[in-house]
A = this chain, B = another copy of it.
C-alpha cells in the first residue's frame, strides 16, 4: 500500500478543523467547517459522532506536530538547559506570526470550560506531555526539585503564549529570560 495517497476525507476535515477552531474558536459552525474542508456534512457525521468529537480528533492530530515544533529533536545535541530554553525561543518565534493565537490546547481548555469535554481531555494530555518533557530535562540537568521546576516552566509557557496570543504582550526575549532565571534558581547549570 502506498504511504502517500491524496489526502483522505478525514484528513482534509481534521486539517480544516484544526485551523478554523484555532483561528475562530470552538464555536465555529459545522456548516462553515465542512464548506472549508470540502467535505459534506453527511461524510463528517459518518466519520464522527458529533462536532465535539471532530474537535477532539483535530486537537489529537495537531499534538505531535506541535510538540515537534517546540522541542528539539532527540538527535540535536545540547544540555538540558539548552533544550529547555529552546522551547521558549520557539514560542517567541511563533508568537510574532500574524495568525498567532497562543497555545491551541490551552485555548480549547479555556473556551470549553468543561474539563470533562472530550477535547478538553485531549488538550490536557498534550499539556501534560510538555510538562513531562520539562521534568525529564530538569532531572537530567540535576535540578534541585525537577517537578517544581517543570511546573514553574509551564506557568511561564502558558502565561507567555496566552498573553502573546491575546496581543497584550510582545515577548521579545521575555519568556526565555524568565525561564532562564528559574533555571538558575533551580540549580540547573549551563
B178 to A155, Cβ gap below 8 A?
A: yes
Given A25-B111, A158-B159, is A106 in contact with B166 using a C-beta cutoff of 8 Å?
Answer: yes
Contact of A160 among B107, B159, B168, B184 (CB under 8 A): B159
Contact with B along A98-133 (1 / 0, CB 8 A): 000110001101110101000010001001100000
Kindly name the residue among A155, A167, A169 whose own CB sees the greatest number of chain B CB atoms within 10 A.
A155
Contact of A168 among B109, B166, B167, B185 (CB under 8 A): B109
CA gap between A156 and B24 in the complex, in Å: 26
Which residues of B lie under 8 Å from residue A27 when comparing CB positions? 27
A174 to B159, Cβ gap below 8 A?
A: no
Contact of A110 among B23, B107, B160 (CB under 8 A): B107
Where the two chains meet, the residues of A that have a C-beta atom closer than 8 Å to any C-beta of B are 23-25, 27, 101-102, 106-107, 109-111, 113, 115, 120, 124, 127-128, 148, 151-152, 154-160, 162-163, 165-169, 174-175, 177-178, 181-182, 184-185
